[in-house]
Structure 1
Amino acid sequence: MQPDTPNQTHMAEFVLLGFAEAHGSRLFLFALFLTMYLLTLVENLAIILVVGLDHRLHRPMYFFLTHLSCLEIGYTSVTVPKMLAGFLGVAGAQRISYAGCLSQLFIFTFLGATECLLLAAMAYDRYVAICLPLRYGALVSRGACGRLAAACWLGGLLTPALPIYLMSRLTFCGPNVIDHFFCDASPLLALACSDVALKETADLLVSLAVLLASSAAIAVSYGRIVWTLLRLRAAAARRKAFSTCAAHLSVVSLFYGTLFFMYARTRAAPSVSFSKVVSVFYSIVTPMLNPLIYSLRNHEVKGALGRAFSCGSWEGR
């Protein structure tokens, strides 16, 4: 619970401004973000169902892909529905309780950190498949995949523990208006009345620890992959191996590029509006694009989707 101090009021709730500066375009933005959100749900649910139903895809890479799709659904569902309600002017849509705000920040950070770790696990899977193919079955067995996925979820769950605890110790005495569309750490810290130096340091260190550890694992994995591919004489074998990594590399580039910009820096944002746009990119746009990237760049996923569609069409006749 937030500590009470003399002459300061307990902040019971916050008001999310969202995109108030674009009031004239709110219906357009509502339609745009609703379409993107629905596409995200449909695409990721399709990945989960297709991988679950097609025995040809019961392999480690697709096991991790279903976990990624679950994360993308949760990632967007934490923030987008309330933002959409705000565009429509639903009563109370822009208000969020103090506990609700911290809970939203906790879940959002938890899912984001889990995704970082999961992308590192997927890079390890590609490394073993390409560099150690004879040991693939032993190193990336079903049990090993389960333990690796559980470690990613647990690591993600522990990531926001200290930052959220420190946030809960801060005093908020007004104003209570958050210039963002969800409870992110940076705009929340701007409203604190107490000293935020420890909280800022903890946020930076935790963010860097997760981002650098996971990106280092990805870099090492792909460094070994590139070294192995350069030693292959057959150009066709190199192309085939690279094609299995292209989708993952694209997703990593999109996700990590925006996260490093937002969180691996000091909290003084150059522009609130620009930070909102970047937040939209990694919290809404990227989860929508990831399933498309995997399905368009992966022949096995496209084949499974085609078979599922064909079966559905045939049964409907």
Structure 2
Amino acid sequence: MSDFNTTNFINPSTFILFGIPGLEEAHIWISIPFFIIYVIAILGNFTILFIVKREPSLHEPMYYFLSMLATTDLVLSTSLLPKTLSLFWFSSREIDFSACLTQLFFIHTFLAVESGIFVAMALDHYVAICDPLRHSTILTNSKVVHIGLAVVLRSCMLILPFPFLARQWPYCRTNIILHTYCEHMAVVKLACADIRVSSYYALFVLFLVTGLDVFFIGMSYTQILRAIFRLPTRDTRLKTFGTCSSHICAILAFYIPALFSFLTHRFGHNVALHFHVLMANVYLLVPPMLNPIIYRMKTRQIQDRVLRFFTQKKT
């Protein structure tokens, strides 16, 4: 770390992304799975968007929400990976102060958007199973658009104070971020000021977004399970529950790594810093890769359309 600028300054023009502390020699090797994950995420999510756009039979709320999820995953992974890979491959550590705050905003905003989309998808499953006769009248195309806009607007409004608060702090110790990207708390901890406002607001947003979203998802699935258990036969119950399996798997792939990363960050003071940074990357990288795989494997309509598309190409 002595190679970097650690002299006193106020409001740096650039930050230095250190990478994964303690694993600098392994950056090239770590970049290989990161790059593979990124390629799979890009191909998988673009495939979802292409299939849904191409097939009129998929123009319904469930697949519109899935398209929103795919778009969110593309933005999220692209906000993170190109700069991280350039750091690993070319030692491109510098990032402009404004660019850093922009990356911070996009990453945290689209994490909140993804959480909100999972709530919207839970609502879709709830209406489809608990009130199927009114599904088409309750979740019209215009309602789906309004829900999507509300999710994006909520996320932008809640995350917008992050970069504004970070910009106002004086940075007079170091401009070295011990991370692979501009994570909110990793940035503001560099400030030589009382950052409790940023810290408390970050906790508020975490509990407001994640806490409420998990609560609403849990309430939806409580009602869904009650409706499923009232069905007459075991086969019918399993078939109905199977329609939710892809959504449940995607939720677990999103929230479990995020929760683990949060707990180790807040309470795992004896956990090595490189493990914190790796986990912070995993919970951003893995869901965009897994979501299209989960929905392709668990959703017969998408699986059939993908197979039909590639078999038509061969013929």
**What TM-score do the two structures reach when normalised by structure 1?**
0.92
What amino acid is the match of 1:200?
S
- Aligned-residue RMSD, C-alpha: 1.7
Question: Alpha-carbon deviation of 1:104?
Answer: 0.6
For residue 138 of structure 1, what is the aligned residue in structure 2? 137
Further displaced range: 271-280 or 248-257: 271-280
For residue 212 of structure 2, what is the aligned residue in structure 1? 213
Question: Alpha-carbon deviation of 1:190?
Answer: 2.3
Structure 1 residues 279, 65: CA separation in 2 closer, same or farther (over 3 Å shift)?
A: same
Spell out the pairing of 1:101-250 with structure 2 (5 A cutoff).
101-250=100-249
Question: Alpha-carbon deviation of 1:164?
Answer: 2.4
Using the alignment, how far apart are the partners of 1:137 and 1:9 within structure 2?
57
- Does the 8 Å contact 1:109/1:159 carry over to 2? no
For residue 3 of structure 2, what is the aligned residue in structure 1? none
Structure 1 residues 262, 164: CA separation in 2 closer, same or farther (over 3 Å shift)?
A: farther
- Does the 8 Å contact 2:253/2:290 carry over to 1? no
Using the alignment, how far apart are the partners of 1:265 and 1:152 within structure 2?
28
Using the alignment, how far apart are the partners of 1:123 and 1:180 within structure 2?
34
Query: C-alpha deviations, 1:61-89, integer Å up to 9, x for none?
Result: 01100110011011011111111111112
What are structure 1's unaligned runs of at least 5 residues? 1-6
For residue 31 of structure 1, what is the aligned residue in structure 2? 32
Further displaced range: 81-90 or 212-221: 81-90
Equivalent position SS for 2:170:
coil
For residue 9 of structure 1, what is the aligned residue in structure 2? 10
Paired residue total: 306
Equivalent position SS for 2:180:
coil
Question: Alpha-carbon deviation of 1:9?
Answer: 2.2
Question: Alpha-carbon deviation of 1:54?
Answer: 1.2
What amino acid is the match of 1:171?
P
Kindly indicate whether residue 277 of structure 2 is the aligned counterpart of residue 287 of structure 1.
no
Question: Alpha-carbon deviation of 1:162?
Answer: 2.1
- Does the 8 Å contact 1:40/1:287 carry over to 2? yes
Question: Alpha-carbon deviation of 1:265?
Answer: 8.6
Query: C-alpha deviations, 1:120-144, integer Å up to 9, x for none?
Result: 0000000000000011011111111
For residue 3 of structure 1, what is the aligned residue in structure 2? none
Using the alignment, how far apart are the partners of 2:157 and 2:314 within structure 1?
45
Using the alignment, how far apart are the partners of 1:190 and 1:269 within structure 2?
17
For residue 50 of structure 1, what is the aligned residue in structure 2? 51
Equivalent position SS for 1:79:
helix
**What TM-score do the two structures reach when normalised by structure 2?**
0.92
What amino acid is the match of 1:249?
I
Kindly indicate whether residue 77 of structure 2 is the aligned counterpart of residue 79 of structure 1.
no
For residue 69 of structure 2, what is the aligned residue in structure 1? 68
For residue 4 of structure 2, what is the aligned residue in structure 1? none
For residue 297 of structure 1, what is the aligned residue in structure 2? 298
Further displaced range: 93-102 or 23-32: 23-32
Query: C-alpha deviations, 1:183-227, integer Å up to 9, x for none?
Result: 002211321100011111111001110111111111111000000
For residue 257 of structure 1, what is the aligned residue in structure 2? 256
Question: Alpha-carbon deviation of 1:51?
Answer: 0.8
Further displaced range: 263-272 or 116-125: 263-272
Query: C-alpha deviations, 1:3-62, integer Å up to 9, x for none?
Result: xxxx85221111001125323333322222111111110000001001110122111101
Equivalent position SS for 1:15:
strand
- Does the 8 Å contact 1:105/1:185 carry over to 2? yes
Question: Alpha-carbon deviation of 1:282?
Answer: 1.4
- Does the 8 Å contact 1:106/1:160 carry over to 2? yes
